[in-house]
Every structure is written in structure tokens, then in C-alpha cells.
Amino acid sequence: MAVYTHVTAEEITEFLKNYNEGEIISLKGIAEGVENTNYILQTTKASYILTLYEKRVNPDDLPFFLGLMDHLVKKGCNTAAPVRDRDGIILKTLCGRPAALISFLNGLSVNRPMANHCYQLGREMAKMHKAASDFGLSRGNALSVAGWQDLVLQCEDRADEVAVGLKDLLHDEMDFLKSHWPSDLPTGVIHADLFPDNVFFMGDELSGLIDYYFACNDILAYDVAISMNAWCFEADGAFNITKASRMLRGYVKERPLSDAEMSAMSILCRGASFRFLLSRLYDWLNQVEGALVKVKDPSEYINKLKFHRAVKSPSEYGLGI
């Protein structure tokens, strides 16, 4: 949470001259976004998010991310929309950085998701998967099997600093996932980071999804697995089968899951928890002194991984309920 790049009144005033979005009323840096600088911009016309992409984002990926958001909005998804300037351009430059003006999406993220929130997320995710099926660009998932292998190599020597036995667990799981990761499931564009932070609700109604900056092409059901990890465990570590069941029910209301996808749910959930375990472990072991971003505890995902390793049947995720 940080403003890495300070935009002055003069710079934003000049920038806005390229748009038909009214006169500036206010610009305030917001304490959100781990990777980028974000401002709330208010003009005489509306509110917006102004995003400046910092160095952790590959500029070559921006046409994919912004193009995807634009595509989804046009297909009727509840997603913040990139705003075009007078020349129809979305991706601009501000303060020497790639930048984009994004429509402001009303709503708040929920701190403790309930089963109803999970149901709505499932539905919205499936709608998004279907809507993205004719999106013209693609982007590989750098955090899939090959990426996990790299992270294992970078973390293994110090893994036991976080939990005794973690190094062995990483190797064991990596070996399993490498040899069992499914290759025949339906793929498409996934959000890949649908944590509660990135899903807004107005009251109890889902108002939209934000932050597509991990979106990529991968197994569609893997997106469900990521969100089951993020939404369906309680604070005490217990898996809430009711929430998982509701999420799956919401999903299949819009896009049926095949028997093959359901049968693979356990390994997809293992992969999803392994992915977040590894990235959190890497960040934990490589903390930058004085960094503005709070590092998340990786051990939460050790527990989740262990849960999925013990799952014997897809019914344990509650689809039959």
C-alpha cells in the first residue's frame, strides 16, 4: 500500500486535457495496490482510479490486462473499465510511467465472506470465463508448474526457517504436481487472483471484480481452486464446505463443470495453495527493509496445502451438497 510516484496538480491537469472526462476536482493517492501507484481522481464528470504502473509490472503485459478489462466490460461483466482518451487510447504515459485511467467501481470488499458472497463470486467468475472466451490476446501463466519449480529452487535452502520440514514438503509436492498436473482440462483467460480484496459488494450484492494484473491463460477450473483457497477457509484454518459448495453451485449455474474438472479439483486446489505458499514464502524470505508493503505469512498456505493433500474425493469440496 503506497504511492510510489507523486503526480502534481500541474501534471494531472495536463494529462486530463487528453480526455473528455471533465475538469479535475480532486486527486488523492490511495493506500491500495501492492505493485502500482493508485489515485482516486474526481472530475466534474465522475470518479476514476488513475493507475501508474511501477517497475514490477512488465509494460508488455499491459495491452493484455487493459484490453481484457475493456473486453469484459463490453461483454457486460461487472468490472472497472479502462477509459479512452480523445484519440481512443487506453494505455498512456504519466510521470514517465505507463498509466491508465480506469472507471471507478462502487462497492467494498468483505472482510469475512459468507456463503452468499461465495455463491455470487462463483457466478461472476464463470460469467467472466465465458465472456473472455473470445478475447483476442493471450498471456501465459508465469506462476504455473515451471514457475513453481523456479520458486522451489530459490526458497528451498531457507524454507525450514519458516516451518520445520517445509523443504521436504516443497519437494514432495513439486514432484507430485509435476507428474500429475492436468493437461486436458478446458482452458481460457482466468483472473488468477480473486481474493476477497478484489471483489466488491454493494450491501450483499456483488458489484464487480477488480485488479486483473495477474490474469493469464490457464485451466479455467484452476481459477475456482484459487478462490476456494482464498474464500472457503475460516480464520482458525478449518475448511468451510458450505462456502465451497455455494461457490461451486454459483459457478455451475453459469458454466457447467465437467466430471473431469470436478475430479481434478483436489489437485487444482493443491496447485493453487502451492502457488500462494511459494510466492508468500519467497516474499517472506526476501523482505526489503523499510518496504511499504506488509508481507503475508506463508504458513497459512502450508495448512491449506495439507488440507487438500488429504482430500480423497471431490465430494469433500461440497458439490454434492
Give the integer Cα–Cα distance in Å for 123 and 130.
Answer: 11
Angstrom distances, CA of residue 101 to CA of 40, 189, 208: 10, 23, 17
Does residue 12 bind its own copies (CB under 8 A)?
A: yes
Does residue 235 bind its own copies (CB under 8 A)?
A: no
Give the integer Cα–Cα distance in Å for 49 and 38.
Answer: 7
- Residue of the chain from 18, 103, 104, 303 that contacts its own copies (CB under 8 A): 104
Nearest to its own copies of 76, 203 (CB atom): 203
Residue 156, C-alpha cell as written in the block:
528451498
Nearest to its own copies of 2, 232 (CB atom): 2
Angstrom distances, CA of residue 4 to CA of 257, 295, 305: 42, 17, 34
Place of cell 457447467: 256
Minimum distance of its own copies from residue 110's CB (angstroms): 5
Options 27-35, 148-156, 210-218, 263-271: segment touching its own copies (CB under 8 A): 27-35
The secondary element (H helix, E strand) that includes residue 51 is strand 47-52
Specify the DSSP class assigned to residue 73.
H
- Residue of the chain from 20, 26, 93, 133 that contacts its own copies (CB under 8 A): 26
Give the SS3 label for residue 144. coil
Options 56-64, 106-114, 208-216, 238-246: segment touching its own copies (CB under 8 A): 106-114
Nearest to its own copies of 9, 164 (CB atom): 9
Minimum distance of its own copies from residue 272's CB (angstroms): 25
Q: Site size for its own copies, by CB under 8 A? A: 35
Nearest to its own copies of 12, 285 (CB atom): 12
Angstrom distances, CA of residue 256 to CA of 64, 220, 235, 265, 319: 26, 11, 30, 14, 12
Residue 167, C-alpha cell as written in the block:
523443504
Instruction: Kindly write out the interface string for residues 270-289 of this chain, putting x where it contacts its own copies by CB under 8 A and - elsewhere.
Output: -------------------x
Does residue 25 bind its own copies (CB under 8 A)?
A: yes
Give the integer Cα–Cα distance in Å for 256 and 25.
Answer: 46
DSSP helix, strand, coil percent of the chain (3-state; round to 5): 45, 15, 40
Q: Which of residues 286-305 bind its own copies (CB under 8 A)?
A: 289-292
Does residue 40 bind its own copies (CB under 8 A)?
A: yes
In the complex, which residues of this chain contact its own copies (CB under 8 A)? 1-3, 8-10, 12, 23-32, 40, 42, 47, 104, 106-112, 201-203, 289-292
